[in-house]
Structures are given as C-alpha cells and as structure tokens.
C-alpha cells in the first residue's frame, strides 16, 4: 500500500499542473512517481531539471539507464528497477542480457563496465570513494567530466530510489523485483 498519494493530473493546479503538462507532452502520460512527486512542485521540478540536464550529457541515454539499474538494485527499489527495465527495453533498445548485467554492475563493454562498477562503489561507499576508485575508472578511459556525470546519475537515482521506497509508489510498469542479495 502506498504511503504517499499520487495526484490526479485532472485536478492538479498551479505549478504542479504546469509540470504535469510538460511531462505528459514528453511522455504521453504521467508515471506514478511523478504524480506522487507532484505533491511538492519543487521536488518534481528539481527531478525533471536534473534528469533533463544529465540526459543531454556525454554518457548517453543507454549508459544512464544502465547506471539507474545498478543503483536501483543496490537500493532495492522495485519501482525504479521496473521503470528503467521498461525504458531500457523500449526506449534505448537494450537487450535483456545487458539490463540483467547492469543490475549487478557488470557490462560486456569495458568502458561501460568501469562506469557501472564506479557507480556501485559510489553507492556502497556513500560517495566517500578513494584515490584508487577514481584512478580505476579514469584508467578505463572515463574523462573527468564523465566521472562528474556518473556522480550526477547516481545522485539522481538515489533521489528517486529513496523517494519511491519512502512513498511505496504504486508500480505502473511491468514489475521487476530486486534480488535479496542487494539489500544485504
């Protein structure tokens, strides 16, 4: 059962209504996470702005989705696992094997593998990475700007994971559940 209620877009007003209109214009619908975030227009606007900015970054949409899966698995967020699996398959056209590997911070491409491993280390160490962690990702050919973007993607996904886990947002995508080992 949800802890925070998703707003009805038909009865939303003010800034929330304006933001819902933007989301609907881009996606064709308003996912439950955003409908629930709409209770705080500041939160929804901040999420949309950071998501949009990172979407235009150098890592690309596919890598962003893979990072989202790595982070969601570590944070046991079934809403985000479900949403990003759906987006991964239908929008960025990743195959199921790639998406499954990403949940474990693995990839067949060495550069993507380094990105996902660094994302997992960021989550596990709560951002307190050491010199060796940064050197390892840089040795894989990741630029300083891309390191910054990885941190941004991790932060964005921690925000949505924590929000959805707090709200117990009703999943409006085909359900994907975290592995029990991720929460240990």
> CA of 172: how far to CAs of 2, 16, 82, 115, 127, in Å?
13, 20, 8, 28, 30
- 94 is a domain residue: yes
Whether the CB-CB separation of 115 and 109 falls below 8 Å is answered with no
CATH number, domain containing residue 170: 1.20.1290.10
Q: What distance in Å separates the CA atoms of residue 127 and residue 106, rounded to the nearest whole number? A: 19
Give the H/E segment covering residue 71.
helix 61-74
Q: How far apart are the first and last CA of the chain?
A: 24
pLDDT reading at 183 higher than 70: no
Tokens 């969601």 belong to residue: 72
Q: Kindly report, residue by residue over 98-131, the tens digit of the pLDDT.
A: 999 999 999 999 999 999 999 999 999 999 999 9
- At residue 153, the pLDDT reads 98
- Compute the C-alpha angle 138/150/127, nearest 5°: 90
Cα 145 from Cα 56, distance rounded (Å): 13
In a domain, 137, yes or no: yes
Kindly state whether residue 109 falls inside one of the protein's structural domains: yes
pLDDT, greater one: 27 or 18: 18
Query: How many structural domains is the chain composed of?
Result: 1
> Is 2 a member of any domain?
no
Q: State the residue range of the domain holding 88.
A: 11-179
- ∠ CA(129), CA(130), CA(136), 5° rounding? 95
Q: Is pLDDT of 181 > 60?
A: no
pLDDT for the residue 1: 86
CB neighbour class for 34 (10 Å; exposed up to 12, middle 13-18, buried from 19): buried
Instruction: Give the pLDDT of residue 15.
Output: 98
Q: What pTM does this model have?
A: 0.94
Q: Is 51 helix (H, G, I), strand (E, B) or coil?
A: helix
**Inside any domain, residue 5:** no
The Cα–Cα gap between 67 and 104 comes to 10
């Amino acid at each position: 059962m949800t802890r925070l209620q998703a707003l009805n877009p038909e009865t939303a007003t003010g800034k929330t209504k304006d933001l819902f209109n933007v989301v609907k214009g881009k996606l064709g619908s308003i996912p439950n996470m955003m409908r629930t975030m709409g209770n705080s227009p500041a939160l929804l606007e901040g999420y949309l702005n950071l998501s949009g900015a990172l979407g235009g970054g150098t890592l690309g949409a596919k890598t962003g989705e893979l990072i989202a899966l790595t982070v969601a698995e570590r944070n046991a967020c079934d809403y985000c696992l479900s949403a990003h699996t759906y987006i991964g398959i239908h929008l960025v056209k990743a195959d199921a094997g790639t998406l499954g590997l990403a949940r474990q911070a693995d990839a067949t491409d060495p550069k993507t593998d380094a990105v996902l491993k660094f994302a997992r280390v960021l989550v596990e160490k709560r951002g307190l990475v050491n010199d060796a962690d940064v050197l390892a990702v840089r040795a894989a050919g990741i630029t300083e700007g891309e390191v910054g973007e990885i941190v941004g993607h991790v932060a964005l996904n921690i925000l949505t994971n924590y929000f959805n886990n707090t709200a117990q947002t009703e999943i409006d995508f085909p359900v994907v559940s975290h592995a029990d080992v991720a929460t240990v």
